[in-house]
Amino acid sequence: MSEGGRERILAAAVDRIAGDGIDDVRIARIAMDAGVSTALVHYHFATREALLAEALEYSFEHAGDLRIEGESAPDAESHAERLAQMVEQCLPSNESQERDWVLWVELWLRAVRHPELRPTAEHLYARMREWFAGAISAGVEAGEFDDCDPEAVADRALALIDGFGVRALLGDSEVPLDRARREVGAVLAADLGVGEQLPFPAVRA
C-alpha cells in the first residue's frame, strides 16, 4: 500500500475516534471510510490497539507540526506575544482544536486502562513540553522573561491548559474559554515577570 493509503487509514481512524469514541471504533468501519479492505488494515497494523495508538500519535504529530514548524507566531512582536499565541493554539478555541481535544481526552481515558498506550501519551506530552520550554528559554535569554526553570514553567503551563481546557471543552459555565485563557495567562505572566497577563490577541469569548 502506498504511503498515501496508509495515511488514509490513519486519518479515517482519527475521524472515527473523534466521532464515535475510541472504545466503539471498529476496524471494518475504518476500512470502509478509508476505501480499503479490512485485510489490508490488518496487514499494516498487527492489532486494533496498534492502529488506534498510531492514529492518535499521527493526529497529534500532524497538529504539532502545523504549530511548531510554523513557529506558532510568526507575527509576534515579543516573546510574551509568542507564548500567548501558543497558549491560544492549545486551548479548544476553534472547531479543529476542539476535535484535537476530544482525541486527547480519548487517549487519556484509554491509556489509564491500557498501559500500552501510555508511551504515546508520554511522548506527546514531552513534545509539547519541549515546545513551551524552548519558547520560555528564548524569552529568558532575550532578557524579556525573569530567570526561571523553563521546563518547570512549561510543565505548569501544560497542567493549567489541561485543567482549564477540559472545563472549557465541556461548556462549564464557570470556566468559559475566555476565563481559561485568562487563568493560564495570568499564572504564566507572574512566573515570567511580564505583568499581570500575557498579551493575547483580540480576545474572543
Q: Which residue has the higher pLDDT, 97 or 169?
A: 169
- pLDDT tens digits along 44-88: 888 887 888 788 778 766 665 555 555 445 567 899 999 998 999
Residue 69 is predicted with a pLDDT of: 52
Cα–Cα distances in angstroms (integers) from residue 5 to residues 44, 52, 60, 74, 80, in the given order: 11, 16, 19, 33, 41
- pLDDT tens digits along 174-192: 999 999 999 999 999 999 9
- 8 Å CB contact between 152 and 88: no
- 8 Å CB contact between 28 and 38: yes
pLDDT at residue 35 greater than cutoff 80 = yes
Residues 6 or more apart in contact with residue 127 via CB below 8 angstroms: 60, 64
Choose among 12, 84, 83: nearest CA to 44.
12
Task: State the residue for C-alpha cell 481559561.
Answer: 180
How many other C-beta atoms are found inside a 10 Å radius of the C-beta of residue 22?
A: 22
Is pTM, for the whole model, over 0.75? yes
Task: State the residue for C-alpha cell 499581570.
Answer: 196
Share of the chain above pLDDT 90, in %: 46
Average pLDDT, the chain: 86
Confidence of residue 95 (pLDDT cuts 50, 70, 90): confident
- 201 sits in the region (left: phi over 0; alpha: psi -120 to 50; else beta) called beta
Residue 140 is predicted with a pLDDT of: 98
Domain boundaries along the sequence of the chain: 54-192
Q: Which residue has the higher pLDDT, 163 or 57?
A: 163
Mean pLDDT in residue range 99-109: 83
pLDDT at residue 117 greater than cutoff 90 = no
Which CATH number among 1.10.630.10, 1.10.357.10, 3.30.830.10, 3.30.590.10 corresponds to the domain 54-192? 1.10.357.10
- pLDDT tens digits along 124-153: 889 889 999 999 999 999 999 999 999 999
